[in-house]
Structure 1
């Protein structure tokens, strides 16, 4: 199934949301805050916001940080939007589960709707901080880890040594991906010899991978919690002559990772289609602003991409 067919299927499953159009909806102004555009994943997410702005007739004020892990900078953007006062609602992807909560609490007290996507704020955390989240939209990160584990299990002998490079251990996305991979790998009979965080940093991931390979000459695979770090691991396998001997799998489906996959440097990546996630978030928020009922939780699509199905990767919608 190609990506256009996948998107058509997604729209059918979300039929109640798809009634919003540029012709019928009131012109709303909303804020969309994400992580750093230095990560291609969030650049693709921005493209989804741009597409939603055009297709749904809504004014999307977009914000991001120059670098990863800039919690304070991201919080300041949200604070400035709230102080300015013209936004009717917010879509947020925080760096971690509590990093935006001080301002989100104030937004909730003003009865402005909040959509939380990708990096989810747990319900108990939101409740404790008096944050009312209208809807949570994200891919199933546990399932993403499981899909990568299944690829590894089909590629290496049972009992093989494998390693894990985590993102930021304080983030839901990293924790869930690692949990999914770890459980499935162990159940399948793989031996996890190391699991260490690189905090979403490509250079750090490369250094960790080098140390892991030097410490275990029987290592057969490395699971990496996102594509950007995986590219660092790929660099390490090239530098040590391990390309083809140690397989690398990851999550996101970014363009650079797909290029590495085409070259045989990466075995697989679980595409998350962040552009579709952003579009769904804007559509959901506009529905809410128009007084309609929206689902509290929506799973966005994921798909394991290997060299055999590259046509299913990339952006989820067709540019016009």
Structure 2
């Protein structure tokens, strides 16, 4: 980090996007892939979560939405779930602490509400076919489905079949089904905005920053990148590189190594998730620049918290996966009980630094 620790007033205020700018960014960045030839056509059979009528669903600025903390006051108590309710949860990859924490939250809420939950996931973060196969298997068991797709469309064949059988499907975080009927998760663009605003607090005009992106074509990666890039540039920073890391720690480390070599005066690197941020931190340490280059991640996994305590990671934007898992089951049980839940249910997020790393996280309990 540069020796100057006081942000210029113009820089700091410029990092905060107006509501209108944020909404416009969300619409421009959503860009969900169009359904494949096998998807339901908008003019044919009944609409499904993979059908697109007009613009693909942008969760970050959904009009029909509610904060998770307002569910109880708005809708009342969680109703009793129908007898023998079974929930099938399709995770992206359980080798990532984020998805482990999210699934743990789902299991805790399922026990609280007296429903069964079966969690399955792909073998890797990019095993789209394996994730679809897991969803197809669950579909045969007639489960209520909580899906966290690897891309915006890779689970569409299973989702369409589920909804044609009148099975409930709730899209939980990260990739967003093009026409998702129910969605639970944080504002993805705000993840990137918060990271950029943090950098701007101690940056000088013209400072160089970079982004390590998640998997190409995934809603969360596009939104987080857009939020960071636009906020940083509007604040007077120069985004010198924005390259894919595919959620992979090794790819992120290699990309960061190249960026640091090309731009030795770089001030900060933002990674779209914590796993990649840890890879960036390895590259920063190897270059002998620990404490000189800010490294910011997103997700709030335990390893990121440990890295912040050790000084290897500067910050992370925690989107509280355990709580998000709890809320996803809460929403599913409400819908099964006949309540009319808004289309998008927002869960919280917060910037975590060495100053608040030991604060207790929020839960639904």
User: What TM-score results when the alignment is normalised by the length of structure 1?
Assistant: 0.89
Q: Does 1:47 align with 2:104?
A: yes
Cα distance in 1 for residues equivalent to 2:89 and 2:153: 17
2:209 touches 2:267 (CA, 8 Å); kept in 1?
Answer: yes
Other-structure match for 1:33: 90
2:296 to 246, 249, 253: 249
Q: Does 1:277 align with 2:335?
A: no
1:222 touches 1:247 (CA, 8 Å); kept in 2?
Answer: yes
In structure 2, do the counterparts of structure 1 residues 135 and 11 end up closer, same or farther at CA, with 3 Å as the change threshold?
closer
2:68 touches 2:347 (CA, 8 Å); kept in 1?
Answer: no
Residue 11 of structure 1, CA deviation: 6.1
Other-structure match for 1:183: 230
**How much is the aligned-residue C-alpha RMSD, in angstroms?**
1.6
Q: Does 1:19 align with 2:74?
A: no
Cα distance in 1 for residues equivalent to 2:332 and 2:75: 10
Q: Spell out, residue by residue over 1:261-297, the C-alpha distance to the aligned partner (whole angstroms, 9 max, x if none).
A: 0111111100001111111111111111122211111
2:349 to 302, 312, 317: 302
Q: Does 1:114 align with 2:169?
A: yes
Please give the residue correspondences for 1:166-245 in structure 2 after superposition, counting only pairs within 5 Å: 166-245=213-292
Q: Does 1:105 align with 2:160?
A: yes
Cα distance in 2 for residues equivalent to 1:312 and 1:293: 34
3-state SS of paired residue (2:102): helix
Cα distance in 2 for residues equivalent to 1:309 and 1:18: 33
Please give the residue correspondences for 1:112-191 in structure 2 after superposition, counting only pairs within 5 Å: 112-122=167-177, 125-126=178-179, 133-191=180-238
1:120 touches 1:138 (CA, 8 Å); kept in 2?
Answer: no
3-state SS of paired residue (1:237): helix
Q: Spell out, residue by residue over 1:81-134, the C-alpha distance to the aligned partner (whole angstroms, 9 max, x if none).
A: 112x342x1110000100000111111111111100112425xx33xxxxxx44
Q: Does 1:292 align with 2:335?
A: no
Cα distance in 1 for residues equivalent to 2:214 and 2:175: 15
Residue 317 of structure 1, CA deviation: 5.2
Residue 137 of structure 1, CA deviation: 1.1
Cα distance in 2 for residues equivalent to 1:63 and 1:234: 31
Consecutive unaligned residues of structure 2, counting only runs of 5 or more, are: 1-66
User: What TM-score results when the alignment is normalised by the length of structure 2?
Assistant: 0.78
Residue 155 of structure 1, CA deviation: 2.1
2:267 touches 2:293 (CA, 8 Å); kept in 1?
Answer: yes
Other-structure match for 2:45: none
Cα distance in 2 for residues equivalent to 1:104 and 1:11: 24
